[in-house]
Chain A
């Protein structure tokens, strides 16, 4: 029984790591650019397809393909920011929501047209390999995904904390106008933030592919998960997104195992609603209006 309990914890944390990475991408874009990006899951879907085709056409290992996927998706993010978001930066918030919803619908249907609705998987030698620690088994690709996610999160945190550009990003997140007065090139940093946010999301997609599959509408599933996590952790709060991701992974794992796999989603939405009732600012939010403070 306790073995099962430990295994449930391990499985939950492993998938939670990837959720965390995905949510950090979203919260980065939200915190800095102040855009609620509804096309978030679609960016990940495109990254997964890119990984899939690189593997199928050229036999490139999915982990190696990160070297291609990350820059390509970074460029995609920059392009989205420059062409879709930047022209409406001063428009009312609702307008920006419409823009990203439109983008989500366009990307999803483009994928349906180009790739058809088929489910695609890749075959790798380590697809179902696992390490064993006593009675607990740890799936290899899931562990790699988890470790990559943690590593990336640490690197990102260090970048924001210690580099000049990172500090500038945080400054923009805190107050766009004052940052501009201090001589920070705000629009250029927006491009960077959107690019980095997209690239992180792309990496999450690539890490998922070895043990999951991709189809054109997969994005909406993950967008939903990412939003729940980001709101749960406190909008724009990176630490919140990280712990929120792990938390949702655990909730899924526990409710699926001890109640029923069919109600996994229902379970985390119930908790989500409860958290919003008790702590509307999210678990790591800092009280009313803190969402305006942004990236911490």
Chain B
């Protein structure tokens, strides 16, 4: 009887442990993936997801993380309400311990707010609004550069390159800002105003608009009135094209246009505007026409992308998500696949990759607030309908060329 009790006790104590570890070892690692795949943000949302998907395939082919395959549980988040409710659903109903996403900053802010309150890690791969990592949460990480960096490099490009080209002192260059008025555009706008002040470049006008507007001629007419030398634009996909078309229709005469990622990086932008896209500069994540010595793994990514999706990548968003998801899997490897928020944070803060060692050329080193301090932006230019990297020189494949934008 006594022996039976011992056996029973042993079974009761060890059994569940054995059972659980057996399941855990074989069971896939499930990660929630929130992207807008319908609605006005669908194009780049889908593009972003594709990058994360290829990172997953690569890792699974190599045996996964800690011997377990990786699975995404996808959620479509076309708007802020959906982002909130889907994050809620993934955490409570699907018991997700880790979420990735999101492309759009507004969506990321909403979804990560939900996850942070439930102590679930949110790993942002593409939203750039500064706020995302500035709310004091310990469970939010971001691999891509934040908005501040975009404005910084736009301003230094205007001061260091555009000003001498148009034979003006930096203090004399007239700059206008045209931005869509959601979290993405407003975030860039605030930064650019601060940077302009700090760099004493005069910002002659700031023009917000609704990205769903059906007519933006008033934006162009205001620009014509303000007569800027340089226009900085912050747009999503359709509004970027609409502004380009109407600038051409109304004969807007400016020396340079600098976009801020988003719609100005899309291949569709050049397709819609044709030669009119020539000369449009753009500050963004790493693009494909870049010095690949600086971005190991990029050609392999493009090849896998083409094989999986039967076309080339449509913007750098997929590459940024690929890079971020790969870093995520590396960190999970360190925790042995454990997605507990505290353990993940320790592993993430300890994780390091040098500049020029990832597919985007970025390094990885998370600050206390979860922001990757080694993420960089590059300056590209549309030349003959190709988006080539022109700045900084280490990553450049062509020289910047001053052409009047939207003139052809």
Contacts and interface: CB of A to CB of B under 8 A. Distances in A.
Interface of A: 1, 4, 7-8, 11, 15, 116-119, 121, 123, 127-130, 132, 137, 139, 142, 208, 211-213, 215, 218, 221, 252-253, 255-257, 260-262, 264
A118 B213 CA distance: 15
Interface string B221-234: 11011000000000
Contact of B215 (A4, A123, A212, A255): A212
Given A119-B238, A121-B238, A221-B214, A11 B221 contact: yes
A52 to B, nearest CB: 14
A212 B219 contact: no
Given A130-B248, A257-B218, A261-B218, 19 more contacts: A4-B225, A7-B224, A8-B218, A8-B221, A117-B78, A123-B271, A128-B244, A128-B245, A128-B248, A129-B249, A137-B249, A212-B214, A213-B214, A257-B222, A260-B207, A261-B208, A261-B219, A262-B181, A262-B210
B42 A117 contact: yes
Contacts of B42: 116-118
B373 interface: no
A15 B249 CA distance: 14
B408 to A, nearest CB: 11
A7 B250 contact: yes
Given A121-B241, A262-B208, A262-B209, A128 B249 contact: yes
A214 to B, nearest CB: 10
Nearest to A119: B238
B208 A260 contact: yes
Given A123-B272, A128-B273, A261-B208, A139 B249 contact: yes
Interface of B: 38-40, 42-43, 78, 181, 207-210, 212-219, 221-222, 224-225, 237-238, 241, 244-246, 248-251, 271-273, 276
Contacts of B208: 260-262
Name the 6 nearest CB pairs between A and B, nearest first: A256-B218, A128-B245, A261-B209, A139-B249, A117-B39, A130-B249
A15 to B, nearest CB: 5
A88 to B, nearest CB: 33
Contacts of A252: 215, 218
A132 B222 contact: no
A213 B211 CA distance: 12
A255 B212 CA distance: 17
A121 B217 CA distance: 18
Nearest to B78: A117
Contacts of A255: 218
A247 to B, nearest CB: 16
A119 B221 contact: no
A15 B221 contact: no
B251 A137 contact: yes
A211 B225 contact: no
Contacts of B238: 119, 121, 213
B250 A137 contact: yes
A292 B310 CA distance: 61
A118 B219 CA distance: 24
21 contacts: A7-B221, A7-B224, A8-B221, A11-B218, A116-B42, A117-B38, A117-B78, A127-B272, A128-B273, A137-B249, A139-B246, A142-B249, A211-B245, A215-B40, A253-B221, A256-B222, A257-B218, A257-B225, A261-B208, A261-B210, A261-B213
A252 B345 CA distance: 51
A130 B251 contact: yes
A257 B221 contact: yes
Contacts of A11: 217-218, 221, 250
Nearest to A141: B249
A8 B250 CA distance: 11
Contacts of B225: 1, 4, 257
B406 to A, nearest CB: 8
Given A130-B250, A264-B218, A118 B38 contact: yes
Contacts of B224: 4, 7
Contacts of B213: 261, 264
Given A118-B38, A119-B40, A261 B222 contact: yes
A216 to B, nearest CB: 10
Given A118-B42, A130-B248, A262-B210, A15 B241 contact: no
Nearest to B217: A11
